Structure 1
Amino acid sequence: MSPLIFFASAPKNMGSLLAEELIKLGMRDATETRGGARFSGTLEDGYRACLWSRIANRLLLPIAHASANGPDDLYEIAREVAWEEHLTPDHTFAIQFDGLLPGISHSHFGVLRVKDAIADRFSERFGHRPSVDPNDPDLRVHVYAHQGTIGISIDLSGQSLHLRGYRDAGSAAPLKENLAAAVLLRAGWADIAAEGGALLDPMCGSGTLVIEGALIAADIAPGLMRPRFGFHGWLQHDEPTWQRLLGEARIRRDAGLRRLGGLRGYDVNSDAIRISLHHLERAGLTGYAHFERRELNDCRPGHPEDEGLVIVNPPYGERLGNEDELPDLYARLGSVLKERFVGWRAGVFTGAPELGKCMGLRAQRMHTLYNGPIECKLLHFRVEPRYFVSNQPRPLPPEERSPSATMLANRIVKNLKSLRKWQRDEQVSCLRIYDADLPEYALAIDIYEGEKRWVHVQEYAAPASVDPKRARQRLREALGLIPEVLEVPGEQVYFKIRRPQKGLNQYEKLAETRHFHEVSESGHRFLVNFEDYLDTGLFLDHRDVRRLIGALAPGKRFLNLFAYTGTASVYAAMGGAVSTTTVDMSRTYLEWAASNLGLNRIESDAHELIQADCIRWLESMATRRQFDLIFLDPPSFSTSKRMYGTLDIQRDHVGLIKSAMRVLEPGGDLIFSNNLRRFRIDLDALAPLEVVDISADTLPRDFARNPRIHNCWRIRHSAS
């Protein structure tokens, strides 16, 4: 008996991977062709491809092939097929028509001509004909027209083979199962798993990469969960052969599950984790992989000794994510890999490969794959120090700078000169020397003086009207001349992109170097960090607010709400406060605040640190605690898994101020501040409180170019 010829279709650019897979399944003559791969073999080989292929979309068995010049030829070719060998008049069928044929402008017309041919043949021979069922037919027929030829095939797969059967819900922008498998196979997961390596997806979404990784590692046939294939309603189906293949697959699955472990998926979205766990259960893999809600910055190996593959499909703008936030996201991903996954391999599948340059890792190679119509790249990394690179923009050398760069240099020198005497008289060692003075260079430049001079540069996100290429060139010009003008080594210049921070981004880390440096301000000592967070730990525009708190503090009980790194508490304690209470939701910032207090030798039990949601804490303390001086400096907007609801300072400021005033003694002062530039305080709603705007009085000289940098009020109970 001559061998059968099969065609397995695959997504674009996956034909070679499919041919490699089929060869490993025993189809030694499998070769890549247009749209997939061909191979010859027995019906058992076809069944094996349906059951085991992780890459294929469909498996077709060609039954007719002929030249055709139009719809009439299509009809005659289809009518000559011995359809009675494939289905009975009592069966149902469906037709899929792909390709181009003269005289057929729409695929539906091609479907109708083939349907008529099948119906007419059965009517002539049996007196009645099978019915069409487009949704759940007994037999699917595939017709392909190309360059004047027609190919007719039996679709042995039925529904697309990428539908494994475990996924019935999805989060936004999920990968199809066969694309996820292709990403894993291209990333070398099969070999890593065979050596006992671990798999981790830090942005797992609906869990597809982790579950496909488990199927590969445990040698589980991807079709084992499917209840039905296209051949089940085919007259030539060989059920004993199929059952034998299923039995072999179940034995391999049971053996593979005994050695399966080390698969983890994290996601910031709790709904995504819920869906992942549901899919894991449907796949019969509960207990064999671990899904957990975690921020990207909290991702780490399951065990310190683990090594293996980090695989991730981060947002890339086409379907998910705010494009303005994506460079920071990729930078954080790179930092997490470099800090916690040294020795691992990593695969990043993205439709915006240029974002990979933000990761600070040199890609070893890349593969092109398609997520639907979107061309994507799989970037391959080895997480080893020799491949670490800077993710900062490369400065332009002097000979490539434009004449406007000279204007920037001159402006920085001029600003420094005008601030020099004031800086010396006020004992200011950390100051802003440039704040988007020139529209071409939308930067904020701060100097921090300690045992060295450090420069902190932040770029304001450019409006959409600005050419991104030109904006990046100007940034590179600035980063090239700043070290020269300020006479600091390039490694002491730190660069970040400044964007409005919302929600969970308030507390997200950019890195985890834990590199802290000591600086001083008016005789107070503080620790700053230039790498791990968007802000350094010391808000320079609040310098005069802190001085006011220190001046008001003698003999007072001081409360610092939304305390950040506790700098205001240091001023209050050093100013003579009898006690300070520092409240913040972030443990990291409270630990930082403790370090700042200790650095200034403030170690009394009278100075307490409390980790809590400030809003709920105020509600609980309203009748139990009283303070003489309160500093209330909330973020403009905040939401967190630890926070009760959300905070919108424009919407919520009246209630928040009133809650703070309930714990303020008569005659006491509440200093209320925020940095929402469009903020408008509701004086009518706050009556009869005495509210005095001190924004201008608390604006430091080095921020005079930007008077809306913060808003500040001194609020007291009414004298009456």
Structure 2
Amino acid sequence: MPLPLAATTAFGVEAVVRRELEALGYPAKITAPGRVAFEGDPQAIAQANLWLRAGERVVVELASFPATDFGQLFDGVAALDWAAWIPPDGEFPVRGRSRGSQLSSVPACQKIVKKAIVERLRQQHGVQELPETAGLYGVEVALVDDVATLTLDTTGVGLHKRGYRPVTSSAPLRETLAAAIVQLSYWRNGRPLLDPFCGAGTLAIEAAMIGRQIAPGLRRVFAAEDWPAVPADVWQAAREQAQQRMLPALDERILATDADDQVLVTARRSAERAGVLEDIHFQQRAFADTLSKREYGCLITNPPYGERLGEQREIEELYQAMPLVLRRLPTWSHYVLTSRLDFEQLVGQTADKRRKLYNGRLECTLFQYQGPKPPKGEGGGRKQGAEPASAAKTSVVEPAPKASVDAPQRAFGGLKPEAARQAEEFSNRLKKLARHLRKWPTKRGITCYRIYDRDIPEAPFAIDRYDDALHIAEYERPHDRTPAEHADWLDHMVRTAADALETPRELVFVKRRFRQRGETQYQRVAEQQAVRLVKEAGLTFRVNLSDYVDTGLFLDHRVTRGRFRDEAEGKRVLNLFAYTGAFSVYALAGGAERVTTVDLSPTYLDWARDNVRLNKLDASRCDFVEGDSQEFVESLPAEPLFDLAIVDPPTFSNTKRGADDWDVQQHAAPLLVEVAKRMPPGGVIYFSTNSRRFKLDEDQLSGLAIREISRQTVPEDFRNKRIHRCWRMVKE
């Protein structure tokens, strides 16, 4: 007569365990959350314990009966044939749980069950002493809705204890859950598999064992191996059969990477104990560097959750960056297990499937993003002559492969149909502008100028040429693309610009501009850096096209700088909020007697000094002051110290008081008054701002003749005539 058996599971993986049992030849049924019932003989006990990867325990279901009081519970337990399972010297600890039952005291129920078993065993074995010195027979009484179920645990230590992980390991992912996730994925032996947050290597090891058909319980012992009811030859036969089923090696090595080289040491040791070290390539590598040339693979990972205080922002930034990295694997499917319920909001993309799972007691979700199916007849395994995953170059970050509008749906990224039209319109516009701008910059000795300024609403870019390089800034604009799709679209548009303007891709530098916390922020899109020397009006300037919000040379002030130079001869010049000192260089080149350059940033002041040296100007006529511009002026005596001044405050804070304290609208007029006090009659102040909301309060500026010269100072290559506002003020 077959035995009533059950496999206990973590919530969410019952269907996986049912499939595992059916693959072993045992029809199974999910009877409750975390419980899958099946029937079998003693051989089934051995097979299930050896082969279940996602199950937690294998138990014998002895009986179920009503138990509304302790008398019913005692009588029901005492009526069972315990001697058929437990010998006189067997150890039988009793565990218990209760839900929705009148017998709610679990310790009391455990005592009653223990007492009933003792009396029954004494009677059946004809002994008074039960020493409990041989074999483990774990008993559980589960009271649910006043029904008691008695089970006998055949497993002992939980099935997640495979025997390969060090006792001291603190790996957060259970082996059984890792195996379940792999089985829920599209991965199979022969397809590439990558875990970029491998940690202790559990996912990779479990996958390797699945791929090689290694029984997860082959290297451990089970409680029922000491039971007379399950003969030793049953276990021996089951183990021999498992050895015969084992495959020699995976068709494709698994790639497991992590930024922490110390955890990789533990991972390698565990893989060696599991017998799969040669099937996994462990590599120290940051997630941002994730890359593979393999096709139709699976990325399965359990990234950090940020459970500890202070990690939230770091984890959120990591998750937000995920789609921009995963788009480099256009034909892959992705499986991410995390406890963050806001994962989809952070990555900006809804999963194709999601499954609630429990990692111990922690509620998690497996987010599944499915890539395209491999072509018919192609299993996604290794192609003839293709390099193995372990040999692929992984130290260099490469952009995502070119996305085609005709390509199949990708898990992350891809181009929408309208991208082709947008790129064509963008290209045509750039070519037309390039023809228009081909001659005049050369005639005027200008190598830096604006080519394109958000001319087409669907292409919100500002494109500037710096000698032979392009600087492209993308501005925020609403769209319906996911972050990964937008990154692919941006790559597509950047390639379009490079081709249309006949510029090598390596000389194109891209930034994203966006507003955050009231300030202009930027994100560098490419990793290349560029510090270059450029020409303007016969002068040389150092620009950085990659590392800052701006490049070091405001091109829209080219005309203003020229006017400033024309007025500088013999003058004492003040440059406030000097940035990289371009106005100071122009003033010195125009014959200024002395130039005082003030900025709060030591980096910008060093940059300004470099610009002076590059032009071989007399540095002895320069004063460089690191400090708050307003405080500097207020610290000077109210006497004629300067004849010519430029005041060009940034929209973000450039003072010690911070952005909230130095508001252009609030502080500009008082500062201009203080500057005028340090000038003789006829002294000239140029004031400029790119704040669109700014209104000059002329009532506060009595004693100054004011003329707005904004239209005259915006260069002709800037079609946005409101790029800045500029005034010329003369002290009366």
* Normalised-by-shorter TM-score class: 0.5 to 0.7
Q: Which residue of 2 aligns with 1:216?
A: 210
Q: Which amino acid aligns with 2:166?
A: D
Partner of 1:547: 581
Instruction: Label 1:457 to 1:209 Cα distance change in 2 as closer, same or farther (>3 A).
Output: same
Encode CA deviations 1:82-118: one digit per residue, 9 max, x unaligned: 2222222222221111224755333222211111122
Decide whether aligned partners of structure 1 residues 174 and 337 sit closer, same or farther in structure 2, where only a CA change above 3 A counts: same
**Alpha-carbon deviation of 1:311?**
1.0
Equivalences for residues 31-110 of structure 1 within 5 A: 31-100=30-99, 102=101, 104-110=103-109
Matches within 5 A, 1:248-647: 248-253=241-246, 256-301=247-292, 304-305=293-294, 307-318=296-307, 322-339=311-328, 341-359=329-347, 363-383=351-371, 386-387=409-410, 454=473, 494-495=513-514, 512=526, 524=541, 526=543, 528-529=545-546, 536=549, 538=551, 544=578, 546-547=580-581, 574-576=611-613
Whole-angstrom distance in 1 between the partners of 2:104 and 2:349: 50
2: CA distance, partners of 1:525 / 1:102: 79
Q: In the alignment, what sits opposite 2:144?
A: 146
Secondary structure of residue in 2 paired with 1:116: helix
Code of the aligned partner of 1:576 = R
Normalising by structure 1, we get a TM-score of: 0.58
2:577 and 2:97 mapped to 1: Cα distance? 70
Aligned equivalent of 1:181: 179
Kindly provide the amino acid, as one letter, of the partner of residue 322 in structure 2. L
Q: Distance in 1 between matches of 2:232 and 2:646?
A: 84
Instruction: Decide whether the 8 Å contact of 2:297 with 2:332 is kept in 1.
Output: yes
| 3-state SS in 2 of match to 1:544 | coil
Shift of 1:383: 4.8
**Cα distance in 1 for residues equivalent to 2:128 and 2:42:** 30
SS at match of 2:279: coil
Q: Compute the displacement of 1:197 (Å).
A: 0.8
Check the 8 A contact 2:101/2:145 in 1, yes or no: no
Mapped contact 1:429–1:519 kept (Cα < 8 A):
no
Report Cα offsets for 1:112-133 as digits up to 9, x if no partner.
1111122223344533333468
**In the alignment, is the contact (CA less than 8 A) between 2:333 and 2:411 conserved in 1?**
no
Q: 1:93 to 1:131 in 2, by over 3 A?
A: farther
- Give 3-state SS (helix, strand or coil) of 2:331's partner: coil
C-alpha separation between the residues in 2 aligned to 1:537 and 1:273? 41
- 8 Å Cα contact 1:206-1:276 kept in structure 2: yes
Corresponding residue number in structure 1 for 2:707: none
Size of the alignment, in residue pairs?
A: 491
Residue pair 2:208, 2:250 contacting (<8 A) in 1 also: no
Counterpart code for 1:153: T
Question: Which residue identity is paired with 1:202?
Answer: P
1:357-393 Cα shifts (integer Å, max 9, x gaps): 44355532222222234432222223575447789xx
Pairing partner for 2:155 from 150, 154, 157: 157
Aligned equivalents of 1:281, 1:669: Cα separation in 2: 66
Alignment match, 1:239: 232
Shift of 1:299: 2.0
CA distance in 2, matches of 1:10, 1:454: 53
Residues 498 and 233 from structure 1, CA distance in 2 versus in 1: closer, same or farther, beyond 3 angstroms?
farther
Q: Give structure 2 stretches of 5+ with no counterpart.
A: 373-402, 404-408, 415-446, 451-460, 478-509, 555-575, 590-602, 629-644, 660-732
Deviation of 1:569 (Å): 8.2
Structure 1 residues 518 and 453, CA gap change in structure 2 (3 angstroms): farther
Q: Mark the CA change 1:237 to 1:496 in structure 2 (over 3 Å): closer, same or farther.
A: farther
Per-residue deviation at 1:706?
Answer: 4.8
Q: What is the aligned partner in structure 1 of residue 438 from structure 2?
A: none
In structure 2, what is the Cα distance between the partners aligned to 1:576 and 1:19?
A: 76
Q: 1:641 maps to what in 2?
A: none
Q: How far apart, CA to CA, are the structure 1 residues paired with 2:553 and 2:74?
A: 80
Residues 390, 543 of structure 1: CA spacing in aligned structure 2 closer, same or farther, 3 A cutoff?
farther
Deviation track 1:237-279 (CA, whole Å, cap 9, x = no partner) reads 22111111101111222xx232354212111223322221222
The whole-number CA distance in structure 2 between the counterparts of 1:709 and 1:293 is: 43
Counterpart amino acid of residue 325 in structure 1: E
Distance in 2, matches of 1:699 and 1:79, equals 95
**Residues 22 and 709 (structure 1 numbering): CA distance in 2 closer, same or farther, change over 3 Å?**
farther
Taking the aligned partners of 2:515 and 2:653, their CA distance within structure 1 comes to 21
3-state SS of paired residue (1:223): coil
Q: Is the 8 A contact 2:512 2:523 kept in 1?
A: no
- Distance, in Å, in 1 between the alignment partners of 2:150 and 2:280 is 43
Alignment of 1:656-695 (within 5 A): none
CA drift of 1:61 comes to 0.8
2:196 to 199, 202, 206: 202
- Taking structure 1 as reference, are residues 338 and 146 closer, same or farther at Cα in structure 2, changes over 3 Å only? same
Decide whether aligned partners of structure 1 residues 457 and 78 sit closer, same or farther in structure 2, where only a CA change above 3 A counts.
same
For the 8 Å contact 1:92–1:132, the answer to whether it is kept is yes
Equivalent of residue 230 in structure 1, options 212, 223, 233: 223
Structure-2 separation of matches of 1:364 and 1:199 = 19
RMSD (CA atoms): 4.8
Measure how far apart 1:68 and its partner are: 1.6
Deviations 1:445-473 (A, max 9, x none): x9886578846679xxxxxxxxxxxxxxx
* Contact 1:94–1:137, Cα closer than 8 Å, also in 2: no
- Residue 521 of structure 1, CA deviation: 9.9
Choose 1 or 2 for highest CA Rg: 2
Q: Is the 8 A contact 2:59 2:152 kept in 1?
A: yes
Structure 1: any 5+ residue segments left out of the alignment? 392-426, 431-445, 459-490, 501-507, 555-565, 580-628, 630-667, 675-696, 712-720
Identity %: 24
Aligned counterparts of 1:378 and 1:292: Cα–Cα separation in 2 = 25
**Residues 94, 132 of structure 1: 8 Å contact kept:** no
d(CA) in 2 for partners of 1:98 and 1:313? Answer: 31
Per-residue CA deviation, residues 298-328 of structure 1 (Å, 9 max, x unaligned), is: 2222xx3454111111223446872222332
Residue by residue, what CA displacement relative to the aligned partner does 1:475-499 show, whole Å, maximum 9, x if unpaired? xxxxxxxxxxxxxxxx996437689
Quote the residue 1:682 is aligned against.
Answer: none
Give the distance between the partners of 1:71 and 1:174, measured in 2 at CA: 40
Provide the rounded CA distance (Å) in 2 between the counterparts of 1:71 and 1:699.
89
TM-score (norm 2): 0.57
Distance of aligned partners of 1:285 and 1:173 in 2 relative to their CA distance in 1, 3 Å threshold: closer
Change (3 A) 1:308 1:550: farther
* Deviation readout 1:557-593 (Å, 9 max, x if unpaired): xxxxxxxxx99887666533699xxxxxxxxxxxxxx
